Amino acid sequence: MPPQSQNSSWVILCISLVTSATLLSTPLSLAAPDTVTAKPEAETAPSTAPPKPALLARLGKTPNWKRLDAYQHTISRTEFQRLLQHNYLQNDEAAEGLIEILPDRARIIKQSNQPELGYYDLFFLSGTTKKNSPPLKVPRYWTPPWKLRSPLHSSKPLEGLHIAIDPGHIGGEYAQIEQRWYRIGKDTIPITEGDMTLKVAKIMESKLTALGARVTLIRDDNEPATKLRADELKAEARKWLNRKLGSRKPSKSKIESTAKRLFYVSSEIRSRSEQVNNKLKPDLVVCLHFNAEAWGNPRKPSFVDKNHNHILINGCYSKGEIEEDDERFELLLRLLQRTYYYELTMAEEVSKTMRRGTGLPPYTYTGDNAKSVNSNPYIWTRNLLANRLYLCPVIFLEPYVMNNKDVHARVQAGDYKGIRKIGKTYRLSIYREYAESVTAGLVNYFKKHKQ
């Protein structure tokens, strides 16, 4: 089912909650855009217009445009335009009035609701590259696979690589708050996505480590990364709802549910991203999730026949998302670091081994919040908070429909070694099947793309 059709679906819960298409006002003190310029020739003069609160994603911060100075003259106009149109924009109009492509530069509005505050000019790489000229240095904390040396031992094909695994959601006592929980039948094990992703992560950690990689779990228990809780986010929730509803007053229950969401989605993923970008600085992040389909009444959930898989990479920004100053800035950082090429080729390899390992057919989006970028039916490009904020290649996995009857039976069987008869078929544990099929794809990818 299309994730955007609101029908208490887990697909919505699992994916759409981590998008940030909606707007949040920020205090006036944060609203003035950065006007510090290292390259005065690349800037337009700021005006003296009074500042307005900037349009930002939930709990987003006003970008420091000066960070883009390091990417001046590092991309050609053709490549910039191609990446933008092919992958990052939901449609041709999505960046209209926000990112303008001129012959020698991209002109980017700094604060979308106040053009008089100026533009950031990103100059393109000019002319033809001379023979013997040094390779371009694109600032990024992660190492592209072609820069990694071949391993000394063939049994360690992932040597030199730092992989961070992000087990989606929090699970444990938070599973019901974050609405990643259901139970069918009195004496059954509840289906808890945050606990299931953690099981897969721990199996993957030992497999990838044995193959030579350095592996970090972004979460290794059921504790949130963020220190903030819903009660402390009520003022932010009210502010965001006021902006969204205009003159209508938000109800108390709406403020509470929004504050909860700010806790377990926005604040949680932003805390994880700080850990990834400031401390871990991995070469890639693998985000683990399980999917679900609409199950009707949440108090009486029902099984569905569907079961499928898909892999998300970052892209497909809507106009509303690009209007948000921080999202526009984050899009540009990803584009300039060329994460797309690595995410796409990695997703290709992982989709093949997951197809073989799980036997799952591809999921098809029917809405416009995701788009297909090549002929692989398993790969979709979509703007999620995690795959936007982790500033390195990210693959975001969505196999198995948790309210499918067979998947439910496999979760009841738990984790086990070897194969067991589940229903009419002998199967690996669902957790090992997931972990092994992803690991096999990563090995194939790095074997092909390392030096």
Calculate ∠ Cα 67-72-76, nearest 5°: 135
Tell me how far, at minimum, the Cβ of 178 lies from Zn ion, in Å.
Answer: 9
- Chain positions 287 to 346 lying near Zn ion, rule: CB under 5 A, are 289
Single out the segment in contact with Zn ion by CB under 5 A; choices: 12-20, 80-88, 209-217, 280-288: 12-20
Q: Could you tell me which of 228, 230, 224 has the C-alpha nearest to residue 167?
A: 224
Tell me how far, at minimum, the Cβ of 13 lies from Zn ion, in Å.
Answer: 7
How many other C-beta atoms lie within 10 A of the C-beta of residue 362? 16
Q: In angstroms, rounded to a whole number, what is the distance separating the alpha carbons of residues 427 and 359?
A: 11
Q: How far is CA 273 from the centre of its chain?
A: 10
CA distances from 368 to 5, 83, 317, 325 (A): 11, 18, 10, 22
Sort 109 into a burial class: Cβ within 10 Å, 0-12 / 13-18 / 19+: buried
Closest to Zn ion by CB, 68 vs 265, is: 265
Tell me how far, at minimum, the Cβ of 10 lies from Zn ion, in Å.
Answer: 8
Number of residues that bind Zn ion (CB under 5 A): 3
Mark 112-151 with x for binding to Zn ion (rule: CB under 5 A) and - for no binding: ----------------------------------------
Closest to Zn ion by CB, 54 vs 200, is: 200
Tell me how far, at minimum, the Cβ of 125 lies from Zn ion, in Å.
Answer: 39
DSSP secondary structure string for all residues of 89-128: BSSTTTTTTTEEE-SSEEEEESSTT-GGG-EEEEEPP-SP
- Give yes or no for residue 407 binding Zn ion (CB under 5 A): no
- Chain positions 159 to 178 lying near Zn ion, rule: CB under 5 A, are 168
- Give yes or no for residue 357 binding Zn ion (CB under 5 A): no
Tell me how far, at minimum, the Cβ of 17 lies from Zn ion, in Å.
Answer: 8
DSSP letter, residue 355? H
Tell me how far, at minimum, the Cβ of 289 lies from Zn ion, in Å.
Answer: 3
Residue type, 85: Q
Q: In angstroms, rounded to a whole number, what is the distance separating the alpha carbons of residues 127 and 130?
A: 9
Please answer whether residues 49 and 115 qualify as being in contact, where contact means their C-beta atoms are separated by less than 8 angstroms: no
CA distances from 156 to 138, 193, 321 (A): 28, 31, 41
Mark 263-292 with x for binding to Zn ion (rule: CB under 5 A) and - for no binding: --------------------------x---
- Give yes or no for residue 14 binding Zn ion (CB under 5 A): yes
Contacts of 98-104 with CB under 8 Å at 24 or more apart are 98/319, 98/322, 98/323, 98/328, 99/322, 99/328, 99/332, 101/77, 103/77, 104/77
Q: How far is CA 355 from the centre of its chain?
A: 22
168, two tokens: 């989606």
Closest to Zn ion by CB, 14 vs 442, is: 14
Tell me how far, at minimum, the Cβ of 310 lies from Zn ion, in Å.
Answer: 12
Closest to Zn ion by CB, 150 vs 176, is: 176
Tell me how far, at minimum, the Cβ of 262 lies from Zn ion, in Å.
Answer: 17
Of how many residues is the chain composed?
Answer: 451
Closest to Zn ion by CB, 168 vs 315, is: 168
Closest to Zn ion by CB, 289 vs 450, is: 289
Closest to Zn ion by CB, 16 vs 242, is: 16
Tell me how far, at minimum, the Cβ of 188 lies from Zn ion, in Å.
Answer: 20
Closest to Zn ion by CB, 117 vs 385, is: 385
Per CB under 5 A, residues contacting Zn ion are 14, 168, 289
